[in-house]
Amino acid sequence: MEFPKVGLRRKWAVKAALDRRDDRRNSWGGVQMIKFPSDCFAIQALLCRCRPQVVVELGSLNGGSASFMASFAPLAGIEAIISLDIQVLPRPSSPIVTFLTGDSSSQEMYQQVVDRVAGRTCSLLVDSDHSAAHVLKELELYAPLVSPGQAMIMEDTLVDVLDFKKFRQGGGPLVAMRRYLRHHPEFETAQDVEPYLTTNFHGYLIKKG
């Protein structure tokens, strides 16, 4: 899959938003959520469109994103949210959110997720360690869990698009996604979802059904 080039004006706009720390000022239910508001609306719109029974989130941090998704779950038909993180942190409780602790790229954690998905329709958000090597391992494990017609959202691809120094050598999420999609044409870009101000350039995908 080839992605269109991101224009300079759009890159500048996102850089300016990052300089203002627009992604660090937000919370949901009192829990910090490190995302642009525009990406939150995009995630909500796509999940409401796809209506998965289960959402798997790789990267919980403080639990703000999981709480956000739980808040609109009834509107999107979401029955359960499974969120993984390697860190043990205080996180909010929700009757539909399960937080798991461990390495998301491990077979053990993957099996725990599979057991909880239990064959239900599933969408996936990838937002943990952003190194390309780690993300590629996650995609190889979890992307097959995404059901036809469901979403796969790759977060923080801006580290590649905006050429973050930390990721120049090994690459970040977008590099991993491009490598994965070369051999997996079953995924395509979700239409009319990605906002102008985003940290997830080219990161809103749908599995063809």
Structural domains in the chain (count):
1
Domain membership flag for residue 3: no
The Cα–Cα gap between 9 and 32 comes to 29
Distances from the Cα of 11 to the Cα of 2, 36, 199, angstroms: 19, 14, 10
pLDDT tier at 2 (50, 70, 90 boundaries)? confident
Domain membership flag for residue 186: yes
Average pLDDT, the chain: 97
If we measure between CA atoms, which residue out of 86, 47, 45, 81 comes closest to residue 64?
81
Domain membership flag for residue 58: yes
Q: Please give the pLDDT value at position 209.
A: 84
Q: Please give the pLDDT value at position 1.
A: 80
**Given phi > 0 = left and psi -120 to 50 = alpha, else beta, which region is 70?**
alpha
pLDDT digits (tens, 9 = 90+) for 86-132: 999 899 999 999 999 999 999 999 999 999 999 999 999 999 999 99
Q: Please give the pLDDT value at position 183.
A: 96
Q: Please give the pLDDT value at position 70.
A: 97
What percent of the chain has pLDDT above 90? 98
Name the residue range of residue 18's domain.
Answer: 8-207
27 three-class SS: strand
Residue 139 has pLDDT above 90, yes or no: yes
CATH no. for residue 150?
3.40.50.150
133 three-class SS: helix
Domain membership flag for residue 1: no
Domain membership flag for residue 162: yes
